Chain A
Amino acid sequence: MYFNSVVYIFFLAFVFTVYWCLQKRVKLQNLLLLISSYFFYSLWDYRFLSLIILSSFVDFFIGQKISLTEKKAKKKFYLFLSLFVNLGMLGVFKYYDFFVDSFNVLLDSFNLNINIQTLNLILPVGISFYTFQTLSYTIDIYYGKIKPTKNFINFFTFVSFFPQLVAGPIERAKYFLPQIELPRKFNLTLAKDGLKQILWGLFQKVVIADNCAVYVDKIFQNYPNHNGFILFLGAVLFAIQIYCDFAGYSSIAIGSAKLLGIKLMQNFKMPYFSKNISDFWKRWHISLSTWFRDYVYIPLGGNRVGKSLHMRNIFVVFITSGLWHGANWTYLMWGFIHFLLFIPSTLLSYFDIKLSNSKFTSLMVYISTMFSVIIAWIFFRSDTITDAFQYIGNMIIISDRPFQAVMLDYTTDVIDLIVIIISILVLFTFEFISNNKEHGLSICPKNIFLRWSIYLVLSLLVLQYLNGDNAFIYFQF
């Protein structure tokens, strides 16, 4: 069941109705959330539900054990057990084939024909998200940041809460568990905002991302035959597509949770308005970047170590972040490029050099940041690193074909093209106006007629492009 389907709308309406009928009965409400979350997940593949249950089960008991144990060595043992189970599952299902394939290629290059068999396993939806979420729980208990919950329904609900189960935001137990442990009262403002956020998310995903995808797929699949302008346009459109796809998903997830009286963390803060690369990573996939900050970067020493170790820490974070996205060299390269982009600002900070605050410098930094981010997306989207390099190489080819003729190759439907252009303008205008608020509809005209007209137009656009078949990009991670 995808968020962008009519079935999800009915499912959410059903859960919402029953959930608030059970107001003041917290246990029943949480049980409902757990059952509906498992139902939601089982519609993808009920077999993989066992992995979620196993992961929840292991971390629930390990959390208790760590808390009850006084000895540090034992605590460490339990923590490693949790890491072993969760990362082991991730390793087998997500990375085993990738490493085996790469190893076989390496052996081949030394003329050693030892062909290690791959497992060809299906990647369970959302595995990277929920394993990171449960891991954060045990790590936080280990460091004494939180106390374990004794209620297994609450914990299992925390791991499998349907709005954010398959693609985040990766929640932290210290924010999530207290919310479901306490009785919830229906909050009109929160629910209204939740609905608006769902509408905004659907608009991003269904109207913009899915329509951009049509052009992006055509350009990337056939990149050797295109000129520089089209290839650059393809890369820009992919940057917009991936943002709208993932931010759209996050908005629907956060909005759905708000309808149930639960607040999830903000996952995006207008990343394409970032001043520089460091700012970009404070605004893009916030729940993952803060996860890596808190559980990888800081434990490694963060910036409180020597310069070379600090550089190593940044390198580790970006490489693991790349690998987290998928078992492919292209994702590793994407992470590596972002590491490279971090080097100039890190070096400047070492030598205490500050760039001037002039508008021109800021503009140059902004343009170079966005350009670099777009180039990095080419690696993210391409099938292989060679494809990505060739794509970038072809970007400097200037065709002598007239612009109109080139555009005609792509304009299958003029109305759709106009809708995309206007929608992208609307997206960035609304986000700019709402200035760091959670979503583009946070600030809307006070005039009810104008406000409802905006909602109606967006709803009609969503209805036109709603298609329960277009999966979210981040589901594959």
Chain B
Amino acid sequence: MKIFITKILSFFLILFVINYCIYLKSRYSWGNKIIDQKIEYVSSLNDKPYKSFFWGSSKTYRHINPIIFDSIAHTTSFNMGYAGCYWFETSYLMDNFIEAYDTSNISNIFLQQIYPTPISKRNLHSRQVKYFMDNKRLSMAYDFYLPRKKYKQLYYHLLMYVENHLNIGLLKGRLISIFKDREMLSNKIIKQKGFYTLEEEVKETKSAYLRGRANKFKVNQKIKVIPKNKNPLLRIINNKYITKIGINFIHIIPGQMGTEMYFDTGHYNDKGAAAFSLEIAQIFNKKNIK
């Protein structure tokens, strides 16, 4: 029995070391192609021109136009959001980005989400919910779900943590990130400082799926979540997990908008995005956060 246990442990140790080396050598942002490209682009700029960053999911990527925001708020910002980004994913990417970036150049970080999104059974085991599950994210999940007695979510997060550290389903992506350079961010997104509306995407890609979503909304006119507050709000975040000396972390809370401002049930159209960007810039100015 001793021989057997020793052999098994030796084998798993070697396997774990190989895996862990790959884990450490890979780029932290490899799991999200567009954010990976955004990070590469922003980090490659020598003079580090951007002082503010917007992080979040599609509700950041599609809603906040940094050009409009900067024109009112007198800052230089870049939209780092991307569709389908979980809060833990955003938090992980943002933490690593701040760590690698010259923090003296960052003044404000705007966050659209600050609470975790539950992992659905359908997404369980997918790269989308696990490549970012490190110690800090597990601890955040523990702190959030345990008091709420959401044991299933705790189990899912723990499982994804284990799968991430064992590289389950992630090996190929991590190896590619080590040996292959990432693709360049498209000029269109660079010009718009990371922002890209759904209407533009429909025009350019002619995506039948997105068009279907828009058409469905035209018929239903039903907004998925109607915010409680009439106007958008900006709140300074006071959270033990979101902190860095010298940087203001600001939570963006959307306000109510008419259905004419929507592209589909959950996202603004061009007009909605412009109005929203303008409003939050004005609030930012009023709050005088610098």
Q: Is the CB of A463 within 8 A of B11?
A: no
Which residues of chain B from 80 to 116 have a CB within 8 Å of any chain A CB?
none
Q: A452-B11, A455-B11, A469-B124 are in contact. Are A463 and B4 (CB under 8 A)?
A: no
Known: A6-B168, A7-B159, A415-B172. A460 touches B4 (CB 8 A): no
The answer to the question of A329 belonging to the interface, with a C-beta cut-off of 8 Å to chain B, is: no
Complex CA gap A466/B171 in Å reads 11
Among the listed stretches B13-21, B63-71, B234-242, which one makes contact with chain A, having 4 or more residues with CB under 8 Å of it? B13-21
A183 within 8 A of B: no
Count chain B CB atoms within 10 A of each CB in A7, A464, A465, A468 and give the residue with the most. A464
Within 8 A of A (CB), among B195-231: none
In contact, A6 and B14 (Cβ under 8 angstroms): no
The answer to whether residues A465 and B15 also contact, given A6-B159, A6-B163, A7-B159 and a CB cut-off of 8 A, is no
Stretch from A185-193, A310-318, A393-401 forming part of the interface with B: A185-193
Question: Are B19 and A463 in touch, CB under 8 angstroms?
Answer: yes
Complex: A163 Cα to B11 Cα, angstroms:
23
B245 at interface (Cβ–Cβ under 8 A)? no
Bound Cα distance A464, B176 (Å): 13
Scan residues 158-182 of chain B and give those whose CB is less than 8 A from a CB of chain A: 159, 162-163, 166-172, 176
B-side contacts of A466, CB under 8 Å? 168-169
Query: Which of B1, B162, B167 lies in contact with A20, CB distance below 8 A?
Result: B1
Q: How far is the CB of A95 from chain B (nearest CB, A)?
A: 30
Chain A residues closer than 8 Å to B15, beta-carbon distance? 456, 459-460
CB distance from A142 to the nearest CB of B (A): 41
A42 interface residue (CB < 8 Å to B): no
Say yes or no for A195: interface residue by CB 8 A criterion.
Answer: yes
> Closest approach, in angstroms, between the C-beta of B185 and any C-beta of chain A?
23
Choose one: B3, B14, B167; the contact of A463 (CB below 8 Å). Answer: B167
Closest A residue by C-beta to B172? A464
Assess whether B45 is interfacial by the CB under 8 Å rule.
no
Give Cα A466–Cα B169 distance, bound, in whole angstroms: 6
Considering only CB atoms, which chain B residue lies closest to A413 in the complex?
Answer: B172
Query: Beta-carbon contacts of A206-241 to B below 8 Å, as 1s and 0s?
Result: 000000000000000000000000000000000000
> Within B120-178, which residues are at the interface with A (CB < 8 Å)?
124-125, 159, 162-163, 166-172, 176
Give Cα distance in the complex from A460 to B8, angstroms.
Answer: 16
Q: Mark A394-415, 1 if CB is under 8 A from B, else 0.
A: 0000000000000000000001
Instruction: Assess the B171–A186 pair: CB atoms within 8 A.
Output: no
Number of B residues, CB within 8 Å of A:
23
Among B3, B163, B170, B176, chain A packs the most CB atoms within 10 A around the CB of B163
Interface residues as binary, A28-71 with B (CB distance below 8 Å gives 1, 0 otherwise): 00000000000000000000000000000000000000000000
Question: Contact check: which of A188, A195, A452, A460 meets B171 at CB < 8 Å?
Answer: A460
For the complex, what is the distance from the CA of A352 to the CA of B159, rounded to whole Å? 62
Q: Which of A186, A455, A467 neighbours the largest number of chain B CB atoms within 10 Å of its CB?
A: A467
A6 partner residues in chain B, CB cutoff 8 A: 159, 162-163, 166, 168
Inter-chain contact B11/A467, CB cutoff 8 Å: no
Q: Nearest-CB distance from A229 to chain B (Å)?
A: 28
Report chain B residues within 8 Å CB of A188.
Answer: 1, 3-4
Q: In the assembled complex, which residues on chain B have CB atoms less than 8 Å from the CB atom of A460?
A: 15, 18-19, 171
Could you give, for residues 435-456 of chain A, a 1 whenever the CB lies within 8 Å of some chain B CB and a 0 otherwise? 0000000000000000010011
If A6-B162, A20-B1 touch, whether A464 touches B169 (CB-CB below 8 Å) is yes
B125 cross-chain contacts in A, Cβ below 8 A: 467-469
Q: CB distance B18 to A192 under 8 Å?
A: no
Q: What size tier do the contact residues of chain A reach?
A: 20 to 34
In the bound complex, residues from chain A placing their C-beta under 8 Å from that of B3 are: 188
CB-based contact A456/B18 at 8 Å: yes
Nearest CB in chain B to that of A10: its residue? B162
Residues in B whose Cβ lies below 8 Å from that of A191:
4
Residues of chain A within 8 A (CB-CB) of B7 are 192
Chain B residue, CB-CB nearest to A13: B8
- Chain A residues within 8 Å of B19, by CB: 460, 463
Chain A nearest CB, measured from B14 CB (Å): 7
Tell me, rounded to whole Å, the shortest Cβ–Cβ distance linking A408 to chain B: 20
**Complex: how many Å from CA A186 to CA B163?**
31
Assess the B166–A463 pair: CB atoms within 8 A.
yes
CB contact between A465 and one of B14, B18, B169 (< 8 Å): that residue: B169
Give Cα distance in the complex from A427 to B130, angstroms: 31
B171 / chain A contacts, CB cutoff of 8 Å: 460, 463-464
Closest CB in chain B relative to A248 CB, distance in Å: 17
Bound together, the chains give a CA A463 to CA B171 distance in angstroms of 7
**Alpha-carbon distance A6/B169, docked complex (angstroms):** 11
Out of A7, A186, A467, which one reaches B169, CB within 8 Å? A467
What residues of A have a CB within 8 angstroms of the CB of B163 in the complex?
6
CB proximity of B16 to chain A, nearest CB, Å: 10
Indicate which residue in B4, B14, B172 contacts A192 across the interface (CB closer than 8 Å). B4
- The answer for the CA separation of A188 and B7 in the assembled complex, in Å, is 11
- Once A6-B162, A6-B163 are accepted as A-B contacts, the answer to whether A463 and B172 lie under 8 Å apart by CB is no
| Across-interface contacts of B167 in A (CB, < 8 A) | 463-464
Contact at B1–A463, with CB atoms within 8 Å?
no
Complex Cα distance A159/B124, Å? 32
Tell me the smallest distance from the CB of B162 to a CB of chain A, in Å.
6
Complex Cα distance A463/B19, Å? Answer: 10
Closest chain A residue, CB of each to CB of B163: A6
Bound complex: CA of A460 vs CA of B124, how far in Å?
21
Q: What 1/0 flags go to B1-45 for Cβ under 8 Å of A? A: 101100110010011001100000000000000000000000000
Given the complex of chains A and B, what is the CA–CA distance between A7 and B160 in angstroms? 11
- The distance from the CB of A295 to the nearest CB of chain B, in whole angstroms, is 38
- A468 to B130 Cα, complex, angstroms: 14
The CA of A186 and the CA of B169, in the complex, are separated in Å by 34
Q: Is the CB of A452 within 8 A of B166?
A: no
Least distance between A13 CB and chain B CB atoms (Å)? 9
Name 9 interchain pairs, CB-CB below 8 A, sorted by A: A6-B159, A186-B1, A415-B176, A456-B14, A460-B15, A460-B18, A460-B19, A463-B168, A463-B169
Residues on A lying within 8 angstroms of B by beta carbon are 6-7, 20, 186, 188, 191-192, 195, 415, 452, 455-456, 459-460, 463-469
Residues of B participating in the A interface, judged by any CB pair closer than 8 Å: 1, 3-4, 7-8, 11, 14-15, 18-19, 124-125, 159, 162-163, 166-172, 176
Can you list the 9 inter-chain pairs with the closest CB atoms, starting with the nearest? Answer: A464-B171, A466-B168, A186-B1, A467-B125, A463-B168, A464-B172, A468-B125, A191-B4, A459-B15
Known contacts A186-B1, A188-B1, A415-B172; 17 additional CB pairs below 8 A are A6-B159, A6-B168, A7-B159, A191-B4, A192-B7, A415-B176, A459-B15, A460-B18, A460-B19, A463-B166, A463-B167, A466-B168, A467-B125, A467-B169, A468-B124, A469-B124, A469-B125
